Amino acid sequence: MATRAEPIVTLDTVDSTQRVAFELAADGAPDGAVVVANHQHAGRGRRGRVWQAAPGTSLLASIVLRPRLAPPEMPRLSFAAAIAVAEAIERLTGVTPKLKWPNDVLLRGRKVAGILLEARAEASIVVLGIGVNLGQTSFPDDVRDRAISVLQATGIALDRDRLLTVIRERLDVWRARLTTEGFAPLRERWLELSSTIGRVVQIDGVTGPAVDLDVSGALIVADGSGRRAILSGEITEPDAPGR
């Protein structure tokens, strides 16, 4: 396999790989440049959460993207990333993860990986943050019933750098398809991997079964008044495994 040309910056400890990646992007780092760290003490997750991980137990990476997409299409990159992470884990472990809308990656019904997509400079610079729990054997009390590591779920100790390589390969594939074919193939693949469709979900005062993913990436929820398109938010799945 040919060696990739995009630079990888490997750090021991950093506040946030996202911050470093944005700085590199502002200095001209190319599409595909990666920042990876053994530990980050102020890592950000979705909706302002902090990503918690003991040193050396997780893949903590941020990838600079310079996508050829219109700004309204940028959020679709998070679906590409979630699919790429799930497929990489499947390739290396033989176990197929599931996806919780919009982009959480699950094993045994618990979160093993998360995606954070951030844009600046009118979306000309996008940084994709990826966090994967690899070797943890326990989690803090407040997330213990919702989090899991690849090691806990599969018994396999994945090599961080090998996983990152496969994620980047799969991300390249899905980004190319998004650019040339649109969202349809990503939607189809996401639906194949979804843990959310068919389950009762709760979000922003709406409760009902999740029935579809529309062409914009919105989750379609059927409640007593009809079908609602949910564009963003944090869903709960009361009947999901592990709850």
CA atoms within 13 Å, Cβ hemisphere of 215: 3
Q: Are strands 98-100 and 8-14 parallel, antiparallel or unpaired?
A: unpaired
pLDDT, average across residues 102-119? 96
pLDDT band at 1 (very low <50, low <70, confident <90, very high): very low
Domain regions of the chain by residue span: 8-193, 197-243
Question: What is the model's pTM?
Answer: 0.93
CATH T-level assignment (fold) for domain 197-243:
SH3 type barrels. (2.30.30)
pLDDT tens, position by position, 55-76: 889 999 999 999 988 888 999 9
The CATH architecture of the domain made up of 8-193 is 2-Layer Sandwich (3.30)
Q: Is the pLDDT assigned to residue 136 strictly greater than 60?
A: yes
Residue 57: closest CA among 179, 181, 140: 140
pLDDT tens, position by position, 28-60: 999 999 999 999 987 565 555 566 678 889 999
* Helix and strand numbers, DSSP H then E, in the chain: 5, 11
More confident: 158 or 54: 158
DSSP string, 88-145: HHHHHHS---EEETTTEEEETTEEEEEEEEEEETTTTEEEEEEEEE-S-S---TTTTT
Give strand pairing partners of 65: 126
- Cα(51)–Cα(53) distance, rounded to whole angstroms? 7
Question: Taking all residues of the chain, what is their mean pLDDT, rounded to a whole number?
Answer: 91
More confident: 242 or 203: 203
Instruction: State the pLDDT at residue 127.
Output: 97
**What is each CA distance from 7 to 13, 88, 172, in whole angstroms?**
18, 21, 15
- Cα(199)–Cα(183) distance, rounded to whole angstroms? 23
